[in-house]
Structure 1
Amino acid sequence: MRSLPLVTSLLLSSACATSTVQNPPASSLVVAAESDSMIWNAVALSDEGSVFVAGPRWTGSTGPSLARLDAEGQPHPYPDERWNGWQPGQDAREAFVNINAIHRGPEDSLWVIDTGSPDFGGAPLPGGAKVVRIDLKSGQVLRVYPLGSEIATPTSYVDDIRLKGTRGYLTDAGRPGLIVLDLETGAARRVLDNAPATTAPTDRPIVLEGKVLHAPDGSALRVHADPLELSPDGQWLYFASLHGPWSRIETRWLDDASLTPEALLAHVEPWADLPPTGGTWLDTNGDLYFSDLAEDALKKRTPEGRIETVVADPRLHWVDAPFLAADGWLWLPVPQMDRVALFNGGVARTVRPIQLLRLRVR
């Protein structure tokens, strides 16, 4: 592991009504860890400061699906080798098939989202699609929430999760929709299926390095319900396709299983017109940090709706799901998703080593 000098403070100029560009020195970005094998798209820290990273199998990553980084930045399978040792043909119920996201929850727990399919766009294997809760203090798996075929459908790509009390809210980037998970009973419901707010638009392509990103079949890649965040008070769920724009809905309506699909849809509101993003973090002040894929930049949307550029740097090429630690450091995994072989005719353009960066934002 190597690092760059830390800048002890970031000077942010006053935001104007539109967009304020602030570019701190390049040295503000600190390299926390690097890997020549593991392609991580998600990061989380425990209360004690242990760093966990994860990434999808289809990127070509050859390291663990979920790993804890040691003091030297080297990955070790977490919670153990068995959970990370799945091979085609084996039971998918208690092993990681394809992790798309990890999320630090209350009581120092780690929530792991397994799409259940080793292939991008493939149908989940029987028992493969699941949410796994791990106790970070003991390293033990506390519970596995299976997502049956009526929830994680053959065209689903279960993407990420946010938590409020006894509810978990998930996005489905493959079959447009949200999933509401009862954390006590394990029962799950699909909501807002194929709604405009959960469906990727056709007129907002994902552009990186000036080029539209294409799916393996040659069409412009469309990623349905993907990023999501909860307001600090838990009243609102904000969500979008990867492309934007964002919508919001009060969580009380999502929690009401008696509502018809039409009645629930009527409670969806426009929220923010943000560009295609790899990942987001909403802090307790209501500031939304997000990566702007087209600009290799980290930006921030204030509660008043102002957009500020925190830092722009070529190293921030497809920053994915960030994590804001209690000490004010924002951790930024950089998997360079658009450069993997899947989206480039079988030839990877990934610039190695894969980096995990961090930036002081408080």
Structure 2
Amino acid sequence: MHMKQKKWLHALALTACAGLAQAAERPLEVVAQTHDAIWNAVAVDDADNVYVAGPRWTGMKGPSVSRLDANRRPQAFPDARWNSTDNSIPVSERFVNVNALHRDDQGQMWIVDAGVSDFGGHVIPGAAKLVVVDLHTGKTTKVITFNSDVIRDGSYIDDIRFSGDHAYLTDAGVPGIIVLDLKNDSMRRVLDTSPAVKAPTDRDIVLSGKVVRAPNGQALRVNSDPLETSHDGKWLYFAALEGPWYRIETRWLNDPKLSPAVLAEKIEFWRDLPPVGGTALDKQGNFYFSDLATDTVKRIRTSGKIETVVSDPSLHWVDAPTFDREGRLYLPAAQVDRVALFNEGVSRVQWPLRVYRFNLDQ
């Protein structure tokens, strides 16, 4: 390990210790648990229905996307056909490898299907897509397929956020940002050449003191992955999973006339955060992120102050937190680093895998 990285990890440890002293002693509530699936995504609708999802490359069984029933058991969502593994169903009409869920302000669920054959594999033609479901009716209203203009060999479309009539998605496989115009579903790929979307070579993903390694044995590198938009829609914040974080005004992203060079110049450094699993904003605009190295969820207040919200060994690789209408924070402890793919073919997942809920003391 390089001296620079040792100092960086030491600083993270000091930050974590300081934060633990601030963390409130409030219990984690188990919302759901499973012995079959790696749920790395969670969403909640206005009726407090809870939805969970995960990619099949993790070795998960059961539906790719589920709604929890009254007994908190997963039921295929929006229906069994979308969750089928029957190869006779076109890949444009079934989930292949779902990576993210996101509920918008119009009562719609946006399901991000990376459409890959496997982790680090190829994008299956027609499989990488956005599936939009009306949460009031439970019906699929739109399927937006990522075309060859934005998809590359090795792409892994990761997550989505919104600002006005545009959406933004990260490509964790081939570094870049996809800008989607919601007025006509046209899309553009931007920032391909910017270092801001590329995983640094000197920052490892470390959990439980162990470097997460790809199937080839090398330290795992994940390009543009977590992202968030500010409440006013002015800024897009983004990073490689390893950090650091950058930001850019959405007005520049939305302008197709800007050249790649000019657009890249609009990027600003934001914060030097550690490896982050996922993020969420509360109603006040505070920014929440999961600090993977310390099994901790932290908050950046609008004032800029960083504080620990909750820290617990159970919160191992919280991947995509979200809030419900009452301001409670949902935390899917996905244990992604423990799946067989990253452990020489042997699963280290500690079952059951759980989704937690945490009541915040704002």
The answer, yes or no, to whether TM exceeds 0.5 is: yes
Contact 1:133 1:142 in 2 (8 A): yes
Structure 2 letter corresponding to 1:211:
K
Aligned identity (percent) is 53
Cα contact 1:175–1:194 (8 A) shared by 2 = no
Corresponding residue for 2:183? 184
Q: CA deviation at 1:88?
A: 4.6
Aligned partner of residue 261 in structure 2, secondary structure? helix
Aligned mates of 1:272, 1:201 — CA distance in 2: 15
Aligned to 1:31, the other structure's residue is in SS state strand
The structure with the largest helix share of the pair is 2
2:7 counterpart residue number? none
What's the Cα RMSD here? 1.5
Partner of residue 250, structure 1: 249
TM-score w.r.t. length of structure 1? 0.93
8 Å contact kept, 1:232–1:283: no
Residue 23 of structure 2 is matched in structure 1 by: 23
SS at match of 1:28: coil
User: Counterparts of 2:23 and 2:179 in 1: how far apart (Å)?
Assistant: 39
Q: Which position in structure 2 is the counterpart of 1:266?
A: 265
Which residue is 1:206 aligned to?
205
Task: Note the C-alpha offset of 1:334.
Answer: 0.9
In structure 1, give the amino acid aligned to 2:23. Answer: N
Alignment deviations for residues 32-87 of structure 1 (CA, whole Å, 9 cap, x no partner) = 11111121001111111111000011111102000000111100000000000034
Output the amino acid matched with 1:98. N
Write out per-residue CA displacement over residues 263-310 of structure 1, whole angstroms, 9 at most, x where no aligned residue. 000100011111001111122322111111111111111223221111
Once the 2 structures are TM-superposed, how far is the Cα of residue 149 of structure 1 from its aligned partner?
A: 2.5
Q: Name the residue aligned to 2:121.
A: 122
User: How many residue pairs are counted as aligned between the two chains?
Assistant: 345
Q: What code does the residue aligned with 1:31 have? A: V
Q: Is the 8 Å Cα contact of residues 56 and 65 (structure 1) preserved in structure 2?
A: yes
Q: Conserved in 1, the CA contact under 8 Å of 2:45 and 2:324?
A: no
Give the deviation of 1:90 after TM superposition: 4.5
User: TM-score, normalising length from structure 2?
Assistant: 0.93
Match of 1:9 in 2: none
Give yes or no for contact 2:46–2:324 (8 Å, CA) kept in 1. no
* Aligned position for 1:346: 345
Counterparts of 2:340 and 2:149, CA distance in 1:
31
CA contact under 8 A between 2:279 and 2:287: conserved in structure 1? Answer: yes
For residue 111 of structure 1, report the CA deviation from its aligned partner. 0.3
AA at the equivalent of 1:183: L
Q: 8 Å contact 2:190–2:260 — kept in the other structure?
A: yes
Q: Which runs of 5+ in 2 are unaligned?
A: 1-14
| 1:61 corresponds to | 60
Give, as a single letter, the amino acid of the residue that structure 1 aligns with 2:69.
D
Give the residue type in structure 1 aligned to 2:144: Y
Residue 139 of structure 2 corresponds to residue 152 of structure 1: no
Match of 1:331 in 2: 330
Q: Structure 2 matches for 1:256-335, cutoff 5 A?
A: 256-335=255-334
- Could you report, residue by residue, the CA deviation over 1:81-121 in whole angstroms, capped at 9, with x for unpaired residues? 00000345642111111100000112110000000113001
**C-alpha distance after superposition, 1:308-359 (max 9, x if no partner):** 1111111011011011112121000011000000000111000001101010
CA distance in 2, matches of 1:272, 1:45: 29
Describe the SS at the equivalent of 1:37. Answer: coil
1:150: how far off?
Answer: 2.6
Report the equivalent of 2:50: 51
Instruction: Show structure 1 runs of 4+ deviating over 6 A.
Output: none
State how far apart, in whole Å, the 2-side matches of 1:89 and 1:50 are: 31
Instruction: Kindly provide the amino acid, as one letter, of the partner of residue 285 in structure 1.
Output: Q
Q: In structure 1, how many angstroms separate the alpha carbons of the residues matched to 2:18 and 2:226?
A: 22
Q: Using the alignment, how far apart are the partners of 1:187 and 1:86 within structure 2?
A: 29
89 and 217 in structure 1: CA distance in 2 versus 1, 3 angstrom threshold: farther
Q: How does 1:107-118 map to 2 (within 5 A)?
A: 107-118=106-117
What secondary structure does 1:285 align onto?
coil
Rounded Cα–Cα distance in structure 2 between residues aligned with 1:283 and 1:19: 23
Note if contact 2:37-2:60 (Cα within 8 Å) is conserved in structure 1.
yes
Deviation string, structure 1 residues 201-220 (Cα, Å, up to 9, x no partner)? 01110000101111001111
Deviates more, 1:160-169 or 1:81-90: 81-90
Q: Which amino acid aligns with 1:308?
A: E
1:232 aligns with 2:231: yes
